[in-house]
Structure formats: C-alpha cells, structure tokens
Amino acid sequence: MKSILFFLLLPSLISSSLFAQELQFEKLPDLVFEEPVDLVSTYVEGDDRLFVLEKTGKVFIIEDPDIDQPIAYETPFLDLSTTVNDDFEGGLLGLAFHPDYADNGFFFVNYTFDDSSNDNKFTTKISRFHVNANSPNVADIDSEVEFLKIAQPKKNHNGGDIAFGPDGYLYIPTGDGGGAGDIYENGQNKQSMHGKVLRIDINTIPYSIPEDNPFVEDDETLDEIWSLGWRNPWKVSFDRETGDFWAADVGQNEIEEIDMEPAGTEGGRNYGWNCFEGSQAYDPTLCDDDMIHTPPVFQYDQSQGWKSVTGGYVYRGSRHTDLYGKYIFTDYEDSRVFWLTTEIAENSFETVRYDYSGPDLPFRITTFGESSKGELYFATLDHGEIWRIFTSVVNKTVESEKVAIQIEPNPSTDFIQIEYLDKDIQSIQLISTSGKTFQLNALSDNRFDIQSIPSGLYYIQIDLDGRFVQAPFSKL
C-alpha cells in the first residue's frame, strides 16, 4: 500500500508566484533499512540504482527508486559492519562514486573505526574501494585503499558526508571534533582538519593537493583546507547544473544554518564557527582582527523547536518543473518542517517554510538523495524508510520568474527604499559581516533610515510571514 503525505503552503503565500506548488511525499513500499544515513547515485548515464548507506556499516542497492514498486537487493553492495564503530554519531556516514566510475569502478566511503595503529582511537577514515569485476552490484571488499585518517577526540561532530565537485576533486566536510561549543577550538584552527571542508585530488596514491587550493602558499594553514569555520556540516551537495556548493551546518544552542558557495569561488571562505553561530556572535574572543565572515544564506532559530538541520539538494529533475532550481532541506529533530531556498539574484535568496501536520509523519530525516535522473528522496533514521518527493505538477511548463528584492539606492548613506513583490515591509534586519545585527522599522512606504548604521557590508533580511528574503547591501 502506498503512503502519501503532502505539505500545503501557508494560505497567505499561495498567491505569490515563486512557490505555489504543493510538496508531496510517498513512502517506497515494502523497503525498510537499518538506520539509513545516506542515499547516493553513481550519476552514470543509464544507471538508475540508488545506494542506501546504513549507519551500522552496510550499503544496499535499490534497483530503480523512480518506478512504482522498486526492489532492493538482499545482498549488500558493501559490508563494513565488522570494521565500523557506529557509537553515538559515528558509523558508515558517506559514499561518493568517482566521476569516472563507469570506466574505473572506484568509489569512496567515509566511516569511523577504532584505529589499532593509534591506541584504538575513534577515527574517521576516507577509503577507496572498487566494484567486483564479475558483478556490478557487489563491491570487492578486499580492494580498500586508505586515503585519509582523522583521529576524533569525541564521538560526535564527525561530519561524514563526501562529494565530488564539478572540478573532479573530492570535498570532505568535517565536524569540529565534538563535545559542545568547540571545546578544542578547532573551527578557527588552521592547523586542524576538524571544522573544515577539505579538498583533495584522489587520482594519486597518496592523495595530492590541488594547485589552486586557497592556502597552498600559506605556511600557517593546512594545504588540504578549502574552507573553515564549520561546526558539524550534516549533508552537502553540488548543484548538478550550476556546480554551486550547498551545505547545512548544525548549530549549537540557537542557530541552524544553510550555506551556499557559488561555483567558481576561489575557496578560503570562513563560515564563522565558533566565533559565530549563524550570523550572530558566539565567542568573539576567537575572531581574528582580519577575519572575513561569510554569513549563511538562510538560518533559523532553535527556539522554534527545530534543532538539527539536514541538508538536501537543488532539484534538477525533469518530472516536477515547479521544483526546478529550488534547494530543499529539513530538520532532523522536527521533520514536520521543510524549506525551499531559491537564489533570486546574485547573493540574494528567498526561503519559504512548509509546515505539516497529520498522521504517519516522516520522523528523524537523516538524509536526502538524488537519483541519476535528478529526482529527490529522503530517509528516516528510526523507521528506516525511504520517501519519494514529488508535486502535483508533472511534466508541465511552469513559469517561475525570479523576482529580486529591490534596494535603492545601493550603496547608500542615509535612506533606502525596499521593494519586493508589492509587499508592505514594516521592519528589516541588517546583519554585518562582523555579526552585528540592527533591527530597523519602516518610516513609511517601505522607506528606512540607515544614517545611524556604521559603514560596511551588510545583508538585509526580511521575514514576510514565513517567506524569508536576504540580499546584500553596502552602507557608505
């Protein structure tokens, strides 16, 4: 029997053109897994398989999740259950297929284990395997080649995801080493691999450093580091059309955040932790004087009941054109809430929240997945279910013009006028690159006095009854 759930957009938002679709979710029938934490495709043309990672160490294959009655093979593709230590937040956490998988059969995994070569310390390992030469649905368990190990001081904040970028390099997001509040001060430590996104070339053994990594000429920073200031990035993805990098970073006690790095960025960005949590200051004593903080494109407050963001994908499938170009994500602790984020102009984003209530809710969503066709799925930890994402719009042309927020003049010294979808904007937040926040109320007709605001670069953020808009602004 099929189980279908749907979210209805809040009535006050239905009249707006950008987000008029209805999100629906269908549980894949008769498929249950043990603590699934990742859903991965090979991205090989004609390969419709979806690979399901179980936290306890096994990888299973769903033959084609896009059909009405998909099947899963009983024999695991890979079984590391006797090797993996899945205590607390550890386990088999990430899988990525080599961009040339069709030719070389290589894939990479991220898992935690007890390292016998280092006093059995809890350790993250990035390894390469290859598929069995005689069976495309079974890996060669004896083919493991170790590429990277990172000893973990605690058993939480391990990151775990891995992904190949459009440049062919492997990106490895890592957590800050665990505990709470970055007790080891790794987020801003340029000599630590914790709390970073690493970027390595895996086409050599051992791995090599890409020549254009941002810190290769900096003796004070590890060459592997692509970006820093991460707490515990839980799920990253590359937009398969644009190459933009999206990441969800789990917060401490207040802020959950979504970050986006446009394709072509030269790297070296600092996403703030633990000097910042989201766009607000967390421990300013750890901020370097010359630090340039890259704020999130969206954040939400844990006081609303949502406490652990789960990152997703930008939809690039062909079936539901009303979702096209929208980044979808949710919260692990409260999976009754979904968000869709769209870049409506350069460095300007709109995010809309969907709230759901009813029976048989998806519970504790750990991961999203993208099929080779671009359709999206998610998995739940406790119930071990896989769900398909869809809308009522199927294979239709949908007008989805991006409407940018208008800020005039920009830059400005005294007053600004803000226009967006003919909305009556009563108040705005200005968030500086140093984490300072200014709340301003409109004088009249969406006009704001900024004379008292210090000069600098800001992001203007507006909350319009569940529609969040953010755009850059410069005060002279």
CB distance 424 to 446 below 8 Å: yes
- Whole-number mean pLDDT of the chain? 90
User: Any idea which of 32-36, 123-127, 429-433 has the lowest mean pLDDT?
Assistant: 429-433
Sign, Cα dihedral of 436, 442, 443, 446:
positive
**Quick one: pLDDT at residue 415?**
92
Res. 140: pLDDT tops 60: yes
φ/ψ of 74, rounded to 5, equals -70, -35
Per-residue buried b or exposed e for 122-136, using 16+ beta carbons within 10 Å of the residue's own CB: bbbbbbbbbbbeeee
Residue range 69-87: mean pLDDT, rounded: 98
φ/ψ of 322, rounded to 5, equals -75, -15
Res. 39: pLDDT tops 50: yes
**Stronger pLDDT, 393 or 437, i.e. the higher one:** 437
**Quick one: pLDDT at residue 2?**
39
Share of the chain above pLDDT 90, in %: 70
Res. 178: pLDDT tops 70: yes
pLDDT tier at 19, thresholds 50, 70, 90: very low
Bridge partners, 58 (sequence order): 79
**Stronger pLDDT, 20 or 149, i.e. the higher one:** 149
Rounded Cα distance, 159 and 195, in Å:
8
Res. 4: pLDDT tops 70: no
Contacts of 23 (CB under 8 A, 6+ apart): 6, 7, 338, 354, 389, 391
Res. 16: pLDDT tops 70: no
Q: Which of 116, 125, 59, 114 is nearest to 85 (CA)?
A: 114
CB distance 311 to 248 below 8 Å: yes
CB distance 263 to 243 below 8 Å: yes
pLDDT tier at 422, thresholds 50, 70, 90: confident
Element (H, E) at 12: helix 11-14
Q: Which of 171, 201, 173, 199 is nearest to 187 (CA)?
A: 173
User: Any idea which of 9-13, 375-379, 414-418 has the lowest mean pLDDT?
Assistant: 9-13
Residue range 51-78: mean pLDDT, rounded: 97
Binning the chain into helix, strand and coil, the percentages to the nearest 5 are 5, 40, 55
* Cα 221–chain centre separation: 25
Write out the two tokens for 52: 């399901």
**Quick one: pLDDT at residue 35?**
98
Residue range 329-357: mean pLDDT, rounded: 90
Res. 341: pLDDT tops 90: yes
Residue range 290-307: mean pLDDT, rounded: 86
**Quick one: pLDDT at residue 274?**
96
Q: What is the DSSP string of 60-88?
A: EEES-TTSSS--B-SS-SEE-TTT---ST
DSSP assigned state of 364? S
Domains and CATH numbers, the chain: 3-391 (2.120.10.30), 406-475 (2.60.40)
**Quick one: pLDDT at residue 400?**
46
Res. 3: pLDDT tops 80: no
Instruction: Please report, as a single letter, which amino acid is at residue 35.
Output: E
**Quick one: pLDDT at residue 471?**
84
pLDDT tier at 403, thresholds 50, 70, 90: low
Q: pLDDT digit string (tens) for 215-240?
A: 999 999 999 999 999 999 999 999 99
CB distance 274 to 329 below 8 Å: no
Res. 168: pLDDT tops 80: yes
Share of the chain above pLDDT 70, in %: 92
Res. 181: pLDDT tops 90: yes
The sheet carrying 106-115 orders its strands as 92-97, 106-115, 121-130, 145-151
User: Any idea which of 86-90, 254-258, 357-361 has the lowest mean pLDDT?
Assistant: 357-361
Res. 18: pLDDT tops 90: no
* Cα 395–chain centre separation: 27
Res. 399: pLDDT tops 70: no
**Stronger pLDDT, 183 or 418, i.e. the higher one:** 183
Element (H, E) at 145: strand 145-151
Contacts of 168 (CB under 8 A, 6+ apart): 99, 201, 203
**Quick one: pLDDT at residue 429?**
85
3-state secondary structure of 183: coil
Write out the two tokens for 385: 């279910």
Residue range 456-473: mean pLDDT, rounded: 80
Q: Taking the CB of residue 404, how many other CB atoms lie within 10 A of it?
A: 15
Res. 13: pLDDT tops 60: no
Contacts of 90 (CB under 8 A, 6+ apart): 84, 111, 112, 122, 152, 155, 158
Instruction: Please report, as a single letter, which amino acid is at residue 159.
Output: G
Residue range 75-88: mean pLDDT, rounded: 98
pLDDT tier at 55, thresholds 50, 70, 90: very high
**Quick one: pLDDT at residue 463?**
80
Res. 17: pLDDT tops 50: no
3-state secondary structure of 143: helix
Q: pLDDT digit string (tens) for 184-215?
A: 999 999 999 999 999 999 999 999 999 999 99
CB distance 329 to 312 below 8 Å: yes
